[in-house]
Amino acid sequence: MVTMYDLKRVGDAVYEIAMNESTGMKVPVRVYANKYIFEHMQRDRTLMQAVNASMLPSITGSMLVMPDGHEGYGFPVGGVAAFDADNGIVSPGAIGFDINCLHPDTKIYRDDGAYFNIAEAEFHSLDIFDKVDKVKSSAAPLLFMKKKFDGELFKIKTRLGKQILVTGDHPLMTQHGMVNAIDLTAEEKVLITGYEGMEYVKPSPIPIVGEDGIRKAMHALGIKNNGNACSQVINFLRSVNLLEIRRDSEKLPILLKLFGIVLGDGTLPYGKHGILPMQIYGKKEDLETIKRDLGKLGINCNVYHRLRKHNIHTQYGNPKFDFDEYSLHVTSRAFGVVLAALGCPVGNKSITEYRIPDWLMNSEKWQKRLFLAAYFGAELSTPRYNNDQNISELSFSVNKIESMRENALQFVSDIRSMLSSLDISTSEPAWVEGYRYAGKHGHTIGLRLSILSNTENMERFLKTVGYAYNTEKERLASLSALYISYLKGVRKRLAETRSKAMELQKAAVPSKRIIMQLSGNGISTSFVEHTLWGRDSAPRAYGVEKFKEFCAINEAGSSGFIYDDIASIENVKYRGYVFDISMNDKNHDFIANSMVVSNCGVRLVKTNLSEADVRPKLNPLMDALFKNVPSGVGSKINLGFTDQDLENVAIEGVGYIIGKGYGWKEDADRTEENGAIAGADSSKVSKTAKSRGKQQLGTLGAGNHFLEVQKVEKIFDEKLAEAYGLHTNQIVVMLHSGSRGYGHQVCSDYLDTLSTYQTKNNIKLPDPELAYAYLDSKEAQDYLGAMRSAVNFAFANRQIMMHSIRKSFEDVFARSSDSMGMDLLYDVAHNIAKLEEHTVEGKRKRLIVHRKGATRAFAPGRQEVPKIYRAYGQPVIIPGSMGTASYILAGREEAMQETFGSSCHGSGRLMSRHQAIRDIPMSQTLSELDAKHIAVRVRSKKLISEEAMEAYKNVDDVVATISEAKISNIVARLVPIGVAKG
């Protein structure tokens, strides 16, 4: 463990945590801070995250934290780390990422249908929604993430009663795709399912069957050890981890479903040579699902098809019919032995006596549900509707030969008892003489059991038990549960209307006025009239959607999920931990509370205008900028770019955009990497990332991204200022934005990829959020190709916005941007990993330098610095917080020796966004901005508090620390006169 005793001051505004090999540190940690800043860094996990990062393989020199540093995702924002390029690593968490989260009580659904609270999450496959095929599927989680939260959550309720608590940046699935909670409106519909399931309770490790039980089953089945038959069964079951089965066995959930389906539509045949291959009959797609589950157990099987001809003798006649029969065959005799040992009947079920085994009767509720759902998938009737509105009674029958009458009653009673333990009411079992038919073993009789059809019981059954291994029944159960909720909502509204009508009538309000007042919005005139005429019974659901209409209007594909109206969105104060899950699946979603929940830089544009020129037209200028540069979360603009344009942007960056007419040739020369970092590979970018980015090129975004009209208030270095074309009272425009959803999705995608890499290669991490891959791996190369594409997207995005800024000035001042001297000073990236050469311990080395919330600050003479600045050092642009100063710095040689040519990138947060909203009144911030005569344009008013100057460190202190540590020279101080934010 690293303590404060390992910490010492080693220079002006420089602290060091000495390398401690016993903790796994490979290099020391260097922190650039004055006393005040350093005290604040100790209040969160900034220093501990830096220590964790110092343990990463091949890290070189020191792990660095700039004075604007604060806690980030795995790696501190404001952190810099360099890794050997020959045998080093790349880590998305050390470049730039954040998580969006759910309240700890949020229910997450396992792929076996049980739910647990996300705060109690474990690594088990979860239910997901396949956005392409529009079906429910499953995938394994890669990471469970949690972070402290102090602020407001969004409580989102739907028309049918679903609700969820999420942070504002957490996406939910809507009819328009994934939308962050903060951007949801009452016009949106969110994707929900009717299934709610049973709570997961960890079973006790009580044995159900072991090797002795398997041997007894083999003996009962007549399997002897001739040819080592018994030994082969034992060895095979041991190899697939099925020799001992406990109540908490990982494979028991699948075995429970298979037990249920075999009792229904399957059989364990038995012949003169003993047990034969297990067979299950059903629809092809359902059998394929069963086949996948058997594969998870290590059991091979095949699905077969044939045309069957039937002729059945019943008391009603002899019906003949042909049909396509699909069946699944398991050739493994060993697996049949397992099912038999668990209590599954062998041979013809109609002539065999069997009950539900005791171990299953006494299992956890969610385990009982798995067995019953699979059995009902085969045996229980399909949800159907009388008059397309009232659901018919659901029932199943057990057929036995007459001599097994008592056993039929016992078995049905067992099922009934299990349902009762799940709070599901059933009818008394009834003999159904009509099921009598003459089989080769004699007459068969049927015993029927029904789920009581009262609304509450039926809704509870459909939501919590339902069906398995039958896609169509599962779909109809989910839709039926939602439809019942819909009808209940309608009846509630009718009852409320009826009560209000009678109240108004009692107050002597004329009938016509009552009818006019209460009719509409789903309440028919006839209903109000009937109420006024004295109807005493419960209100009927007049004018409601029929079941088929409900499904046609609302269902997403044929999934059983629907898009439900948002009934309300409210903010709820919360302090505590929030959680998220990263999924190992292309869909990147999971089901929570029955809902489906989903590189920046800065540039400075100069002008030859003064404050006196701009101030009289400041408001129309800010209006024009706010209009022409779209901002806000999810902001989009349609510039007519094609998919091929997006591919070209990813590779060519700024150069391609300038070729399309968005800028001047010189702009590329004054952009880091000339606006196109080499090595980009758009084929490594997911379709989801590309679709998110296509209409976001040329948009600002939200959060700490901004556009500011500023004036140069003070020059600190006349020579450097002249080289950069800066002078006092000059108007400039600063732009801070990035790669928008394109880049965020790239990082999200590859966090999953690299987390899989950790598991595959058994890599132990100091922090799960520091996932990495070695540079020579396919995973790392794919990520770098995608990350570089995102960097080029970000360069191009800012280039288009600069074109819009020039156009806005032209519109307001009626002059060409060229005549206003609107040259680009420089554009520099913030969150990036780059291959660079640096001197380490006297030797030149190729390094991959990770800068997360840090800026490249190269000294004079470096070839990477544009020719016009090479003799002076690279311009370093440091934005402040809203309403405070910003700075222009210049790189110097000391930075090359100490920080791999890196500097701070801004002022750095002191408060979380949510704390800022809670503690800083919006009116206070607006008053402060008004007192400074700063014009403000903002899409979301909450940003005024989120981005208030008190939420950030003092930028003057941060820059003074950089200067004191001799990392960069201060050139100029800028102050805002107009601010535009998302």
439 Cα distance to chain centroid: 55
Task: Report the pLDDT value the prediction gives residue 901, as an integer from 0 to 100.
Answer: 95
pLDDT digits (tens, 9 = 90+) for 551-608: 999 888 888 888 899 989 888 888 887 665 544 444 444 444 544 443 678 999 999 9
β-sheet bridge partners, residue 328? 280, 303
Angle between helix 211-220 and helix 229-239 axes, rounded to 10 deg:
140
Q: Which of 965, 948, 968, 859 is nearest to 907 (CA)?
A: 948
Task: Report the pLDDT value the prediction gives residue 762, as an integer from 0 to 100.
Answer: 84
Torsion of CA 441, 447, 451, 453, to 10 degrees: 120
Q: CB–CB of 361/418 below 8 Å?
A: yes
Domain edge (last residue) among 94, 116, 141: 94
How would DSSP label each residue in 902-913? EEE-S--BSS-H
Domain edge (last residue) among 49, 68, 94: 94
Q: Does residue 243 belong to any structural domain of this protein?
A: yes
Q: Which residues contact 655 (CB under 8 A, 6 or more apart)?
A: 668, 674, 675, 676
Q: Which has more pLDDT, 946 or 418?
A: 418
Confidence bin at 217 (pLDDT 50/70/90): very high
Looking at the structure, do residues 271 and 138 belong to the same domain, yes or no?
A: no
pLDDT digits (tens, 9 = 90+) for 276-298: 778 999 999 999 999 999 999 99
**295-299, 397-401, 537-541, 623-627 — which is least confidently predicted?**
537-541
Q: Does residue 474 belong to any structural domain of this protein?
A: no
Domain edge (last residue) among 94, 124, 158: 94
**Residue 675 region by backbone torsions, left for phi larger than 0, else alpha for psi between -120 and 50, else beta:** left
The answer to whether residue 205 scores a pLDDT higher than 70 is yes
Question: pLDDT over 90 for what percent of the chain?
Answer: 50
User: For the chain, how are helix, strand and coil distributed in percent, rounded to 5?
Assistant: 35, 30, 35
Q: Which residues contact 982 (CB under 8 A, 6 or more apart)?
A: 631, 632, 633, 635, 700, 701, 702, 703, 705, 938, 939, 940, 943
367/253 Cα distance (integer angstroms): 7
Q: Does residue 793 belong to any structural domain of this protein?
A: yes
Q: Which of 73, 82, 63, 49 is nearest to 16 (CA)?
A: 63
The answer to whether residue 526 scores a pLDDT higher than 60 is yes
Residue bearing tokens 């016992």: 410
Task: Report the pLDDT value the prediction gives residue 146, as an integer from 0 to 100.
Answer: 61
Task: Report the pLDDT value the prediction gives residue 142, as an integer from 0 to 100.
Answer: 40
Residue 905 annotated in active site: yes
596/593 Cα distance (integer angstroms): 8
Distances from the Cα of 797 to the Cα of 319, 431, 673, 676, 702, angstroms = 70, 73, 15, 12, 14
pLDDT digits (tens, 9 = 90+) for 35-85: 889 888 888 888 988 999 999 999 999 999 999 998 887 789 999 999 998
Q: Does residue 200 belong to any structural domain of this protein?
A: no
Q: What is the pLDDT of the chain when averaged over all its residues?
A: 86
Report how far apart the first and last C-alpha atoms of the chain are (Å, whole number). 42
Q: CB–CB of 917/942 below 8 Å?
A: yes
Count of residues making up the chain = 982
The answer to whether residue 135 scores a pLDDT higher than 70 is no
Q: Which residues contact 640 (CB under 8 A, 6 or more apart)?
A: none
Q: Which has more pLDDT, 678 or 518?
A: 678
Task: Report the pLDDT value the prediction gives residue 740, as an integer from 0 to 100.
Answer: 81
Confidence bin at 320 (pLDDT 50/70/90): low
701/694 Cα distance (integer angstroms): 14
Looking at the structure, do residues 415 and 489 belong to the same domain, yes or no?
A: no
Looking at the structure, do residues 456 and 494 belong to the same domain, yes or no?
A: no
Q: Which has more pLDDT, 127 or 66?
A: 66
pLDDT digits (tens, 9 = 90+) for 779-819: 989 989 998 999 999 999 999 999 999 999 999 999 999 99
Angle between helix 471-506 and helix 365-379 axes, rounded to 10 deg:
100
The answer to whether residue 482 scores a pLDDT higher than 50 is yes
Looking at the structure, do residues 349 and 488 belong to the same domain, yes or no?
A: no
Task: Report the pLDDT value the prediction gives residue 311, as an integer from 0 to 100.
Answer: 63
pLDDT digits (tens, 9 = 90+) for 157-178: 999 988 888 877 677 878 776 6
Q: Does residue 198 belong to any structural domain of this protein?
A: no
Looking at the structure, do residues 40 and 188 belong to the same domain, yes or no?
A: no
Q: Which has more pLDDT, 331 or 142?
A: 331
**260-274, 518-532, 685-699 — which is least confidently predicted?**
518-532
Which is catalytic among the residues 705, 803, 850, 905? 905
Looking at the structure, do residues 253 and 135 belong to the same domain, yes or no?
A: no
Looking at the structure, do residues 363 and 457 belong to the same domain, yes or no?
A: yes
Q: Which residues contact 542 (CB under 8 A, 6 or more apart)?
A: 494, 524, 526, 527
Amino acid occupying residue 595 = M
Looking at the structure, do residues 307 and 268 belong to the same domain, yes or no?
A: yes
**38-52, 448-462, 936-950 — which is least confidently predicted?**
936-950
Q: Does residue 201 belong to any structural domain of this protein?
A: no
Find the domain containing 501 and state its range. Answer: 479-554
Number of domains in the chain: 5
Q: CB–CB of 970/871 below 8 Å?
A: no
Looking at the structure, do residues 692 and 831 belong to the same domain, yes or no?
A: yes
The answer to whether residue 683 scores a pLDDT higher than 90 is yes
Confidence bin at 630 (pLDDT 50/70/90): confident
229/6 Cα distance (integer angstroms): 66
| CATH code of the domain in which 640 resides | 3.90.1860.10
Amino acid occupying residue 291 = K
Q: Does residue 100 belong to any structural domain of this protein?
A: no
Q: Which residues contact 616 (CB under 8 A, 6 or more apart)?
A: none
Rg (CA), the chain: 34
β-sheet bridge partners, residue 21? none
Task: Report the pLDDT value the prediction gives residue 317, as an integer from 0 to 100.
Answer: 59
Looking at the structure, do residues 307 and 343 belong to the same domain, yes or no?
A: yes
What does the angle CA 261 – CA 262 – CA 268 come to, to the nearest 5 degrees?
170
Confidence bin at 763 (pLDDT 50/70/90): confident
Q: Which has more pLDDT, 470 or 490?
A: 470
469/373 Cα distance (integer angstroms): 8
Looking at the structure, do residues 585 and 645 belong to the same domain, yes or no?
A: no
| CATH code of the domain in which 577 resides | 2.170.16.10
Question: pLDDT over 70 for what percent of the chain?
Answer: 87
Average pLDDT rounded to a whole number, residues 808-834: 94
Q: Which of 594, 546, 455 is nearest to 160 (CA)?
A: 594
Q: Which has more pLDDT, 171 or 200?
A: 200
Task: Report the pLDDT value the prediction gives residue 598, as an integer from 0 to 100.
Answer: 33
Average pLDDT rounded to a whole number, residues 730-750: 85
Looking at the structure, do residues 933 and 818 belong to the same domain, yes or no?
A: yes
Task: Report the pLDDT value the prediction gives residue 137, as an integer from 0 to 100.
Answer: 53
Task: Report the pLDDT value the prediction gives residue 689, as an integer from 0 to 100.
Answer: 81
Q: Which of 442, 351, 444, 451 is nearest to 393 (CA)?
A: 451
Q: Does residue 696 belong to any structural domain of this protein?
A: yes
Q: Which residues contact 609 (CB under 8 A, 6 or more apart)?
A: 730, 731, 813, 820, 821
Burial zone of 606 (CB within 10 Å; 0-12 exposed, 13-18 middle, 19+ buried) = buried
Q: Which has more pLDDT, 540 or 929?
A: 929
Average pLDDT rounded to a whole number, residues 824-838: 91
Task: Report the pLDDT value the prediction gives residue 239, as an integer from 0 to 100.
Answer: 95
Angle between helix 405-421 and helix 365-379 axes, rounded to 10 deg:
130
